[in-house]
Chain A
Amino acid sequence: MEVALEDNNLMEKVLPPDEQEIDVELEAKEKKYLRGEGANLESLKDKKLKTQLASREKLYGKSAKAAAKIEKWLLPASAGYLETEGLEKTWRIKQTDIAKEVDLLSSKNQYDIVLPDFGPYKLDFTASGRHMLAGGRKGHLALVDMMNMNLIKEIHVRETVRDVAFLHNDQFFAAAQKKYSYIYARDGTELHCLKEHGPVARLRFLKNHFLLASVNKIGQLHYQDVTYGDMVASIRTGKGRTDVMEVNPHNGVVALGHSGGTVTMWKPTSQAPLVQMQCHPGPVSSVAFHPNGHLMATSGKERKVKIWDLRKFEEVQTIHGFHAKTLSFSQKGLLAAGTGSFVQVLGDSSGGGGGYSRYMSHSMVKGYQVEKVMFRPYEDVLGIGHSMGWSSVLIPGSGEPNFDSWVANPFETSKQRREKEVHLLLDKLPPETIMLDPSKIGAMRPSRRKERPTRGEIEAEKEVAIEAAKSVEMKKKTKGRNKPSKRTKKKKEMVENAKKTFPELEHSNIAGKKRRIGEDAAAELPASLKRFARKN
Chain B
Amino acid sequence: MRIKTISRSVDEFTRERSQDLQRVFHNFDPSLRPMEKAVEYQRALTAAKLEKIFARPFVGAMDGHRDGISCVAKNPNYLKGIFSASMDGDIRLWDIATRRTVCQFPGHLGAVRGLTVSTDGNVLVSCGTDCNVRLWSVPRPSLEDSDLSSEKSTEPSAVYTCKNALLAVDHQFEGDLFATAGAQLDIWNHNRSQPVQSFTSGSHSVISVRFNPGEPDILATSSGDNHISIYDIRMSSAARKILMRTKTNSIAWNPMEPMNFTAANEDGNCYSFDGRKNEEAKCVHKDHVSAVMDIDFSPTGREFVTGSYDRSVRIFPYNGGHSREIYHTKRMQRVFCVKYSSDATYVISGSDDTNLRLWKAKASEQLGVILPREQKKHEYNEAVKNRYKHLPEIKRIVRHRHLPKPIYKAKAESRAMNDAKRRKEDRRKAHSAPGTVVTESHRTRRIIKEVE
Contact = CB atoms under 8 A, between A and B. Distances in A.
B40 A442 contact: yes
B388 interface: yes
Interface footprint category on B: 35 or more
A405 B25 contact: yes
A82 B10 contact: no
Interface string A379-401: 11000000000000010100111
Interface in A58-81: 67, 70-71, 75-81
Contacts of A70: 26, 28
Contact of A442 (B10, B30, B32, B391): B391
B7 interface: yes
Interface string A91-109: 0010001100111011000
Contacts of B13: 410-411
Contact of A441 (B9, B25, B41): B41
A407 B2 CA distance: 31
Interface string B436-448: 0000000000000
Nearest to B24: A405
Contacts of B32: 400, 403-404, 407-408
A292 B42 CA distance: 22
A48 B28 CA distance: 32
Contacts of A430: 42
A106 B319 CA distance: 62
Contacts of A76: 12, 25
Secondary structure type dominating chain A contacts: loop
Interface string A138-167: 000000000100000000000000000000
B20 interface: no
B35 interface: yes
A426 interface: yes
Nearest to A35: B30
A427 B4 contact: no
A470 interface: no
A80 to B, nearest CB: 4
B22 A416 contact: yes
Nearest to A88: B1
A47 B37 CA distance: 27
Given A85-B1, A291-B31, A429-B35, A379 B6 contact: yes
Interface stretch (A211-219, A230-238, A245-253, A261-269): A245-253
Given A82-B3, A292-B31, A442 B37 contact: yes
A439 B30 CA distance: 12
Nearest to A394: B5
Interface string B21-57: 0111111111111110111111100100000000000
B14 interface: yes
B43 A427 contact: yes
Nearest to A83: B2
Given A208-B34, A251-B35, A407-B32, A81 B41 contact: no
B10 A147 contact: yes
B124 to A, nearest CB: 41
A411 B10 contact: yes
Interface in A398-445: 399-411, 413, 416, 426-430, 433, 438-439, 441-442, 444
Contacts of A407: 27, 32-33
B5 A426 contact: no
B7 A429 contact: no
A497 B216 CA distance: 82
Interface residues of A, number: 67
Contacts of A251: 34-35
Contacts of A93: 1
A127 to B, nearest CB: 10
A293 interface: yes
Given A411-B10, A413-B22, A427-B39, A402 B4 contact: no
B140 interface: no
A33 B28 contact: yes
A396 B5 contact: yes
Contact of A80 (B6, B28, B35, B37): B6
Given A79-B6, A106-B7, A396-B4, A252 B35 contact: yes
Contacts of B2: 81-83, 85
Given A252-B35, A394-B5, A396-B3, A442 B28 contact: no
Given A291-B31, A411-B14, A441-B37, A103 B7 contact: yes
A43 interface: no
A433 B4 contact: no
Nearest to A380: B5
Contacts of A433: 35, 38, 41
A249 to B, nearest CB: 5
Given A33-B28, A75-B27, A103-B7, A208 B35 contact: yes
A536 interface: no
Nearest to A377: B32
Contacts of B9: 105
Interface in B182-201: none
Contacts of A356: none
Given A97-B1, A442-B391, A401 B6 contact: yes
A251 B46 CA distance: 21
A8 interface: no
A106 B387 CA distance: 44
Nearest to B390: A444
A210 B390 CA distance: 28
Nearest to B388: A442
Contact of B1 (A84, A406, A413): A84
B31 A98 contact: no
Q: Among B4, B5, B9, B42, find the residue whose CB has the most chain A CB atoms closer than 10 A.
A: B5
Nearest to B44: A442
B8 interface: yes
Given A80-B6, A401-B6, A411-B10, A250 B42 contact: no
Nearest to B1: A84
Given A251-B34, A404-B25, A429-B38, A80 B319 contact: no
Contacts of A406: 24, 26
A378 interface: yes
Contacts of A320: none
Contacts of A97: 1
Contact of B5 (A67, A80, A88, A408): A80
A63 B8 CA distance: 29
B39 to A, nearest CB: 5
Contacts of A98: 3
Nearest to A435: B38
A406 B39 CA distance: 14
Contacts of B14: 411
A81 B4 contact: yes
A318 to B, nearest CB: 26
A219 to B, nearest CB: 27
Nearest to B387: A442
B38 A208 contact: yes
Interface string B105-118: 00000000000000
A122 to B, nearest CB: 23
Contacts of B6: 77, 79-80, 106, 378-380, 399, 401
A32 interface: yes
Contacts of B33: 407
> What are the nearest 7 A-B pairs in CB distance?
A105-B7, A404-B27, A380-B5, A402-B27, A106-B5, A80-B5, A433-B38
16 contacts: A48-B319, A77-B6, A80-B3, A81-B3, A82-B3, A101-B3, A102-B5, A106-B5, A291-B34, A403-B32, A429-B38, A429-B42, A430-B42, A433-B41, A438-B38, A444-B391
Given A48-B319, A105-B7, A406-B24, 10 more contacts: A71-B28, A80-B6, A81-B4, A402-B25, A402-B27, A405-B25, A427-B39, A429-B38, A433-B38, A441-B41
Interface of A: 32-33, 35, 48, 67, 70-71, 75-85, 88, 93, 97-98, 101-103, 105-106, 147, 208, 249-252, 291-293, 378-380, 394, 396, 399-411, 413, 416, 426-430, 433, 438-439, 441-442, 444
